[in-house]
A and B are shown apart, each in its own frame.
Chain A
Amino acid sequence: MIEYIYFEVGIEDHPRTQEFFRRFPKATKIPCNHYKEVFNPRGQSFRLQKKNPALILAKQNGKKIHPIPASYGVGGSQNFYFSHLLNCLYDCRYCFLQGMFASAHYVLFVNFEDFQSEIKQKHDDLGDNPSWFFSGYDCDSLALESLTGFAQDFIPFFRKLPNSWLEIRTKSIASQVLEKTDPLDNAVVAFSFTPEEISQQLEHKVPSVQSRIKAMKKLANLGWKIGLRIDPIIDCIDFNTRYAKLFEQLITALPAESLHSVSLGAFRMPTGFFRSIQKLYPKEQLFSGKLEKKNGNIAYRAEIEKERISTCQSLLLSHIPKEKLYLCDPVEIK
C-alpha cells in the first residue's frame, strides 16, 4: 500500500501521474521540484525506509539508455540497460541497490514514452544488428507490475521492434501480465535464483524458489523464452549439493526449447557500496565471508570464486549445451 507519493511538480499533469493519484486517493501527496531532493540526500536510513517505502513520481530528463558492461550480455553484440524504476520490492541482502542509493523509496519515471523513443532511436541506428535491452538492473522488472504497468506498456512496444530484444529480469511470480498476452519472440523472461537455503537467509520478501519455478514453468509452457540467472553465486556450506539440487530442479522444470540462456556471476560489489551495506547490517553472515578487495570490488577470494564458478559451470554443462551458458565477469571499478 502506498501511503506517500512525492511527485515532481513538472509531471503533475502527466496521465500516468494522474492515474496514480486516482488509484491512491488516500495517499499523502507531496510536491517536490526534482526527485533528487527527496531521494538523494545522505543521512537517510535505507534499512528503516525499506519497512515502508514511499513512491516518488519523476521524469527522467537525462540519458535513458546506457551500455552494459562488455561481459554482461547473453549473446547479443549491442547491449543496453534502462531503468524506468529505481529500487525494488524485495530486500535481498546481497543487492547493490542498498549501497548505491541513499533512500529505499521507489522512484518511478513516468515518461515511458521518452524511454521508448530513445530505444526506437537506438533500434533504428543499429539497423540489422540485433540489440538487447535489459530492464532489471535497478529494480525487479515485474515485482511492482501492478503498480507501474511497465510490462503491459513495453511488451506491445517491443513487439514492433523485432530486431530489439527485451530482457525482463525478475524474482517475481506476478506474471499474469505475461500470461495474458501472446509470447514475445524477441523477449526473455529471466528468473534469478539462489538455492532455497540461501534464498531463505538472504532474499527477504522474495517468493520461494519452488513458487518461482512454478511461475517460470507456466510461462515456458505458454511459449515464453526463459533465462536463468545464477547471479550472485553465494559461497555456502554444502555448496555443491545445494547448487546441484537447484540446477536439477530448474532444468527439469523447463522444456529444453524454452531455455534461452543461463548466466553465472559471482558475488561482487563496488567497495563503497559494500561498506555502506555493511553498516546497515553489521552482523550479516554474508559480509563476514571469505571476501577480499580486488579491482575496486569486494568479492570472494580469487581461489574460492574460481572454484565456485567452475563447479557451477560443470554442474550446468551436464544439463545444457555450452552455447547457452554465459559468464558475467566483474567490472573493474577505477
Chain B
Amino acid sequence: MNFIIALQAEAKPLIDALKLKKVSGSLPFPTFQNDNHQLVVSGIGEIASAGATGFSLGKSHAQDHPFPFLNIGIAGHGSLGVGTLFIADRIFSENHSSIYYPPQLVDSEIIRSPLQTCELPNRDYQEKKGYDMEAHSFYTTASKCVTRELVQVIKVVSDNLHQPLDTFNPKVVSKLVETNLPTILGLVRSLEKLANEISPDRETLAFRRDALHSQHFTETQTHLLVQLLNHSKSFDIEEAKILQSLKNENSAKAALKALAQLIEPYRILS
C-alpha cells in the first residue's frame, strides 16, 4: 500500500499507527516505510503530488504485485461538516479537462463526494463538493500504472461555509485525520484485500523466478516462458517436473521446446 500525503501533520497519525520508519538517505520526498506500506509526504499542490506519486511508483514493484495507492488529506467542502471523512467518486480540476471516476468496489460506510482540485486554496463553498489541491494530479499519475479500482482519494473536511479556511487552525490537522483513523485503516485493509485478488501468489512468483534462472532467456523467450508456466499451472503440472525439463536442456530455445512438449498432452479442458 502506498500513501501520498501532502503534509507531515496529515501523515503523522498513519506513520504512528502503522509504525512506519523514515527512510534514510537523500530522497526527493520524505518517505516512511514498513514491510507492507510506503508513505511519501509530497508537499502542497498538483506538481508536488504528481512528483511524489511518480517517485512512489518507481519505488514500488507494481509489475509483480499491484499495490494500491491512496491519497489522504484535508479538504474544504461545500456541504459536509468539519471532521467528516469522504471518499472521492468524481475528481476534476479547474486546470484540466480530464475527469476521473474512481471505481468504488469496497463496501464502506464512508460518504462519497465529488472533489475539485484547485490551484489555490478555495474560499468559495458554493456547491456540494470537496476542494483540495492534489487529488487530480495524484490520480492522473497513479492510474497510469495501477488499476483504477486500487487508486483512491479520501479527505477529511477541514473547512466549510460555516468554518471557513481563514478561521482554520493548522494545529488540528493531525487530530482531524487521527479521529478518522479506524475508518481509514479499514479502507486500507479492504484495498489490500482487493489487490491480493488480482496478484499472483508468492509461490507462483517464486516458481517463476526459479524457472527464469534455469536458462538465459531473452526478453521474447521470457514472455513465452511465462505463458507456458501459466499453462502448466492451469493443468496443475508438478513444478519439479517443469523445472527439471527446463534444466535438462542446453539452451533456452531447447528448454522452451521441451516445456511445450511436456504440456502438450494436458492441453484439454477437464
**Bound complex: CA of A33 vs CA of B90, how far in Å?**
12
Assess whether A28 is interfacial by the CB under 8 Å rule.
Answer: yes
**Bound complex: CA of A38 vs CA of B148, how far in Å?**
11
Assess whether B197 is interfacial by the CB under 8 Å rule.
Answer: yes
Stretch in A59-67, A286-294, A317-325 with 4+ CB within 8 Å of B: A286-294
Interface code B81-105, partner A: CB below 8 Å = 1, 0 otherwise? 0000000011000000001010111
The answer to whether B269 and A234 have CB atoms under 8 Å apart is: yes
**Bound complex: CA of A282 vs CA of B198, how far in Å?**
10
Assess whether B235 is interfacial by the CB under 8 Å rule.
Answer: yes
Assess whether A198 is interfacial by the CB under 8 Å rule.
Answer: yes
Interface code B209-253, partner A: CB below 8 Å = 1, 0 otherwise? 000000000000000000000110111000000000000000000
Q: What is the chain A residue whose CB lies nearest that of B103?
A: A49
Stretch in A39-47, A83-91, A223-231 with 4+ CB within 8 Å of B: A39-47
Q: Which residues of B contact A289 (CB under 8 A)?
A: 267-269
The answer to whether B234 and A288 have CB atoms under 8 Å apart is: yes
Interface code A222-247, partner B: CB below 8 Å = 1, 0 otherwise? 00000000000011110000000000
Assess whether A180 is interfacial by the CB under 8 Å rule.
Answer: no
**Bound complex: CA of A108 vs CA of B235, how far in Å?**
38
Within 8 A of B (CB), among A185-244: 198, 201-202, 234-237
Nearest CB on A from B192, distance (A): 13
Q: Which residues of A contact B200 (CB under 8 A)?
A: 282
Assess whether B147 is interfacial by the CB under 8 Å rule.
Answer: yes
Q: What is the chain A residue whose CB lies nearest that of B101?
A: A38
The answer to whether B101 and A284 have CB atoms under 8 Å apart is: no
Q: Which residues of B contact A43 (CB under 8 A)?
A: 143-144, 146-148
The answer to whether A51 and B105 have CB atoms under 8 Å apart is: yes
Q: What is the chain B residue whose CB lies nearest that of A51?
A: B105
**Bound complex: CA of A3 vs CA of B266, how far in Å?**
43
Within 8 A of B (CB), among A1-54: 3-4, 6, 28, 30-33, 37-38, 41, 43-45, 47-49, 51-52, 54
The answer to whether A48 and B104 have CB atoms under 8 Å apart is: no
Nearest CB on B from A289, distance (A): 5
**Bound complex: CA of A141 vs CA of B268, how far in Å?**
31
Assess whether B149 is interfacial by the CB under 8 Å rule.
Answer: yes
Q: Which residues of A contact B270 (CB under 8 A)?
A: 201, 236-237, 285
Q: Which residues of B contact A282 (CB under 8 A)?
A: 200, 230, 233-234
The answer to whether B234 and A285 have CB atoms under 8 Å apart is: yes
The answer to whether B233 and A283 have CB atoms under 8 Å apart is: yes
Q: Which residues of A contact B148 (CB under 8 A)?
A: 41, 43-45
Nearest CB on A from B150, distance (A): 8
Nearest CB on A from B177, distance (A): 24
Question: Looking at the complex, which one of B101, B146, B235 makes contact with A37 (CB distance below 8 Å)?
Answer: B101
Nearest CB on A from B115, distance (A): 12
**Bound complex: CA of A51 vs CA of B190, how far in Å?**
14
Nearest CB on B from A312, distance (A): 16
- When A44-B147, A236-B268, A289-B268 are in contact, do A283 and B103 touch as well, CB less than 8 Å? no
Q: Which residues of B contact A44 (CB under 8 A)?
A: 103, 147-149
**Bound complex: CA of A49 vs CA of B198, how far in Å?**
11
* Highest count of chain A CB atoms <10 Å: which of B149, B231, B268: B268
Q: What is the chain A residue whose CB lies nearest that of B229?
A: A282
* Highest count of chain A CB atoms <10 Å: which of B103, B144, B230: B103
Q: Which residues of B contact A278 (CB under 8 A)?
A: 230
Q: Which residues of B contact A237 (CB under 8 A)?
A: 268-270
Assess whether B37 is interfacial by the CB under 8 Å rule.
Answer: no
Question: Looking at the complex, which one of B112, B143, B230 makes contact with A283 (CB distance below 8 Å)?
Answer: B230
Question: Looking at the complex, which one of B146, B149, B266, B269 makes contact with A49 (CB distance below 8 Å)?
Answer: B149
**Bound complex: CA of A73 vs CA of B236, how far in Å?**
40
Q: What is the chain A residue whose CB lies nearest that of B114?
A: A30
Assess whether B118 is interfacial by the CB under 8 Å rule.
Answer: no
Q: Which residues of A contact B114 (CB under 8 A)?
A: 30
Q: Which residues of B contact A49 (CB under 8 A)?
A: 103, 105, 149
Assess whether B57 is interfacial by the CB under 8 Å rule.
Answer: no
Assess whether B48 is interfacial by the CB under 8 Å rule.
Answer: no
Q: List 28 A-B contacts (CB under 8 A).
A: A6-B101, A28-B112, A30-B90, A30-B114, A33-B99, A37-B99, A41-B143, A43-B144, A43-B146, A43-B148, A45-B148, A45-B149, A47-B198, A49-B105, A51-B105, A103-B103, A234-B269, A236-B268, A236-B270, A282-B200, A282-B230, A283-B230, A285-B234, A285-B270, A286-B269, A288-B266, A289-B269, A290-B267
The 4 closest A-B pairs by CB, nearest first: A288-B231, A236-B269, A282-B230, A45-B147
New A-B contacts (18) at CB < 8 Å, excluding given A43-B148, A287-B234: A4-B104, A32-B99, A33-B99, A37-B101, A41-B143, A44-B149, A45-B149, A48-B103, A49-B103, A54-B104, A105-B103, A201-B269, A235-B268, A282-B230, A283-B233, A285-B235, A288-B235, A288-B267
